[in-house]
Amino acid sequence: MGKLPVKMKLILMFNKDNINRLIEMNNIPIHPDNVRALFMNILYSDNRLSITTGTSLNVFTMDKTLEDLWDKTVEKYYI
């Protein structure tokens, strides 16, 4: 049996077409050009796996609708 890695980190980024589709399908009040990236960070360390999400925008907004939707999307489809 092979050995597990001691530590590993993966950063995955949602592609632009999927970002546009996610915004459009959910009527998110932000223009797709203002979304730099949506990330899923996967960290394996100390025999534990953790997954976090990240959102990078080109503008400042107090509206957290996109961040909340991205969290739910990752949880629904990838966890």
Distances (CA, A) of 17 to 11, 13, 23: 18, 12, 10
Tell me if 2 is assigned to some domain.
Answer: no
pLDDT values of the chain reduced to their tens digit, one per residue, 79 residues: 788 789 999 999 999 999 999 999 999 999 999 999 999 999 999 989 999 999 999 999 999 999 999 999 999 988 7
Flag whether 54 is in a domain: yes
Residue-number span of the structural domain to which 24 is assigned? 7-78
Give the number of C-alpha atoms closer than 13 A to the C-alpha of residue 41, restricted to the C-beta side.
Answer: 8
Number of domains present in the structure of the chain = 1
**pLDDT at position 12:** 97
Domain assignment present for 1: no
What's the pLDDT at 57? Answer: 97
